[in-house]
Chain A
Amino acid sequence: MATSEASPTVIVIDDDPGVRKALQNLLQSVGLQVEALASAQEFFGRKLPEGPCCLVVDVRLPGRSGLDFQEDLAKAKVRLPLIFITGHGDVRMSVRAMKGGAVEFLTKPFRDQELLDAIQSALEGDRARREHDNAISTLGRRYESLTSREREVMALVADGAPNKKIAAQLGVSEITVKAHRGRVMRKMKFRSLADLVRMADKLRAAREADQGRI
């Protein structure tokens, strides 16, 4: 766990004050930050926490049910891992929840370790996702600082073309290609050619994913 990161937060949504308080107590006893909410509506009215985060949601909620809330999250592009808890779960309900991307589906009363394990793995997942997202956005910012000629050179290098071929293709001298290539390495903070190839792939995949989503 990176020490610079904000501490992880669990958001609990349950309309039963007793259960809400108990979950809060349990999670605090293992050093987790807890935000306890009585309804799904309350969630959308607030700012998302800085650090890694996951949701523990009762399926049976007044107003929008837990499963409705899951759909609402997807629509709002909030990609937080979700753990369902329920007093009387049936198979159909749990299938729908897992298809919607839920991490776990626990039936009350559950063993505390079951819930804590589920939370732990949910937070790991969220942390990994955040790191990935951060890396991509840093890479994107650096890429933005490149000139168009530098971006051309980087793309050709990533495709495995030698300097000579790049020079011929761009109609410049090999010396000039080398100079562009050095600036790309410096601006993008690449440490090696392999670094360049890998990062260029990541960047391309993220951009394609972005375009595909829009």
Chain B
Amino acid sequence: MPTALRDSGITVIGDVPWGGHFSIFYETRSDLLDTVAQYFRAGLANNEACLWVISDPLTKKQARSALRRRVPDFDRHLAARNIEILSSHEGYLKGGRIDARRIIRGWQAKLRTALDKGCEGLRICGDTAWVEREHWQSICDYERKFHAALAKHRMIALCAYPLSKGRATDVLEIARLHQYTVARRKGEWEIVQTPDLKQAKQELQRQNQDLEQRVIERTRRLEVANEALRAQIAERRRAEEQLRAAQDEIARVARLTTLGTFAASVAHEINQPLTAAVANSEAALRWLRKQPPNFKGAHNTVKCALTDANRAAAVIKRVRSLLTRARPRFVSLDINDVIREVLALTRRDQDGRQISVQTKLSSKLSPVRGDRVQLQQVMLNLILNAIEAMSANKKRPRNLLITSRMNRAGSVLIAVSDTGPGLDSESAGRLFDPFFTTKAKGMGMGLPICLSIVEAHGGRLWASPNSPRGAVFRFTLPAAGKRWLRAKRRQPSS
């Protein structure tokens, strides 16, 4: 049941929920008509179907004209059957007697029709001016059953009782059967409070206060918990940042230490011939400054200086070849050959660890321009990584799949897929960072080197998850030709 409140249209009652059941005791016909008109006016304005069961001596015609005066667009609503006026015989006394169940079923049927029409619900007003003493017990029985039935439906009911007919006990009884009872007293409408109602209201108020208190309490506790959580998150983030900084520092120091040692030895190696070259050049100048100049001495020392300079150059050359191993030799090659060569090289690793190797190598590949040894190094790295990743778990299948094909951009695309544990999101972001490794004995240099080789060839290298498990490493190499030349121009140092 939606809890949205409905406007009762009656000022002293205000908004009521669906299932609202209240009664009015009226003195004069105009009191009744005013109140009922306000009631229906609000209902019609809020798209509720309205039903008025009138009572003698009021006729349907009088009822219609009374509403027409007080409710805007009344005739339109009447024509649209948004409001219906029934006589007490049609409403309550079908078959000549008061049958609570039949009456209630009747209201329920009206409600279904209203809902089918797209109305929000049904608003009923029943006048009991026709009720005689002998009906009193039956009408109370009906009210009781109706009250119970109302609670479950999108219905609001207003029961009108003429004050002139009721006795004090009757009024009390009626009041007890309704949530609200409104009576016309001293020219003003006011709510008749029964002790039950008062008590219920107080209880409700108390529970409301209690609830509110508990909400405040709970909110405060949540706020405290929230604050603690926020502090923990901040603390964790700070710790992660510190960890990351420490790792960066370690990597930096490791690089510097190696570099520092290396630089010191290179500096010494170069300093010796440099010192000699300087001294020899000075000596040569002195021979030349003599009167007469000693050309033979100058010649000899310049020759020595030249030897020294060449020695320094040789040191530089040695260092350079050490750093780059050898200059890459770019030739046109079939990447499938490279894949097959490396697979042959790693056969021992595959067999030793029960890896099933599958290849799907396209026979329609363009040749690529590249350094065979470097590309072998990339394949070797990716294949050994895959084999190692799958070796940990003995139960899962270990399938290594290597494919090659042309992609839509006209590059050669190579993929190495494994069924290992795959990449967690933390590792995935840092795979290609130098010194990052997930292996116990890893240097963390394999993938960064692969990346730099592939990029130097004008290609791309990336990792993604395999389905249902594992990882796929893919790289592209531009096909030899114009594309390669363009890439080459962008990477002149390769």
Contacts and interface: CB of A to CB of B under 8 A. Distances in A.
Given A29-B283, A29-B286, A29-B297, A21 B278 contact: no
Nearest to B305: A22
By DSSP majority rule, is chain A's interface helix, strand, loop, or mixed?
Answer: helix
A19 B287 contact: no
B308 A22 contact: yes
B276 interface: yes
Contacts, number: 76
Contacts of B59: none
A112 B276 CA distance: 11
Contact of B271 (A23, A109, A115): A109
Contacts of A22: 275-280, 283, 301, 304-305, 308
A130 B363 CA distance: 91
A25 B275 contact: no
Interface in B259-277: 264, 267-268, 271-277
B311 A25 contact: no
Interface centre among B264, B275, B284, B287 (most CB of A within 10 A): B275
B268 A25 contact: no
By DSSP majority rule, is chain B's interface helix, strand, loop, or mixed?
Answer: helix
B321 interface: no
B46 interface: no
B120 interface: no
A22 to B, nearest CB: 4
Instruction: Classify chain A: how many residues form its interface, as a range.
Output: 10 to 19
B386 to A, nearest CB: 48
Interface in A75-89: 87-88
Instruction: Classify chain B: how many residues form its interface, as a range.
Output: 20 to 34
Contact of B282 (A19, A26, A87): A26
A91 interface: no
Given A22-B308, A26-B282, A28-B283, A16 B297 contact: no
B80 to A, nearest CB: 106
Interface string A3-27: 0000000000000101101110110
Interface of B: 264, 267-268, 271-280, 282-284, 286-287, 294, 297, 300-301, 304-305, 307-308, 311
Interface of A: 16, 18-19, 21-23, 25-26, 28-30, 87-88, 108-110, 112, 115
Given A16-B276, A29-B294, 13 more contacts: A16-B272, A21-B276, A22-B275, A22-B301, A22-B304, A23-B279, A25-B300, A26-B280, A26-B283, A29-B286, A87-B272, A108-B274, A112-B283
